[in-house]
Homo-oligomer: A and B are copies of this chain.
């Protein structure tokens, strides 16, 4: 009944070490030897348990990203349930979109700073490519949020809405990744807000952005868009 030896335990230690190192230095910049050293395992363990480095990276990303996606879907579904068929507020939608980072982070056992950095890296490094396993869920989530937003802001053209959701992604990704950097460059002028405050500020900003007036672009300049 008991699991053979430390197999699962070793895998967990490797993933945990990889988590921390990938977050800090990026996926490509970390060597397998650094990971296994931190995990207290042998170099060959990575290839034995995960196949190769690429598959280890995929595993880390999937384990990191899926819970956030699932929590997003859960929050959105809950909001829908309690609104009795009426369109949900933008704030609720944005909350369901952004808050999961905080929720999952607090349940992850990882340091908050590392969790945030890893989140950013999942969106940034490797050209933002997600492992095949996670793409399906990610696309489904994007569709669900797009559709829900559409119902709340029906006057906004679908394409513009898609772009603004994309922009909102940028806000979150950039904020998660460069909090430290931001702190340095403003010489501390940005303060030291807790995450709840930062979350609310992102929601405020994105809400304003989503609701902004949609400037017509001069057609003479060549709008290729439909």
Contacts and interface: CB of A to CB of B under 8 A. Distances in A.
A213 B181 CA distance: 26
A190 interface: yes
A112 to B, nearest CB: 13
Contact of A29 (B28, B174, B186): B28
A160 B201 contact: yes
A131 to B, nearest CB: 14
B205 A217 contact: no
A42 interface: no
A171 B139 CA distance: 20
A97 to B, nearest CB: 14
Contacts of A180: 127
Contacts of A86: none
Stoichiometry, copies per complex: 2
Contacts of A159: 189-191, 193
Contact of A167 (B127, B158, B192, B205): B205
A37 interface: no
A215 B200 contact: yes
B217 A208 contact: no
Interface stretch (A8-16, A57-65, A75-83, A218-226): A218-226
A114 interface: no
A122 interface: no
A139 to B, nearest CB: 6
B177 A174 contact: no
19 contacts: A28-B28, A127-B180, A127-B181, A128-B177, A139-B185, A164-B201, A166-B190, A167-B201, A170-B170, A170-B173, A174-B174, A193-B225, A197-B217, A203-B215, A204-B214, A207-B212, A208-B209, A208-B212, A209-B212
Interface of A: 26, 28-29, 124, 127-129, 135, 138-139, 142, 158-160, 162-164, 166-167, 169-175, 177-178, 180-182, 185-186, 189-194, 196-198, 200-215, 217-218, 221-226
Among all A-B residue pairs, the 6 with the closest Cβ atoms: A170-B174, A208-B212, A205-B209, A208-B208, A209-B209, A191-B225
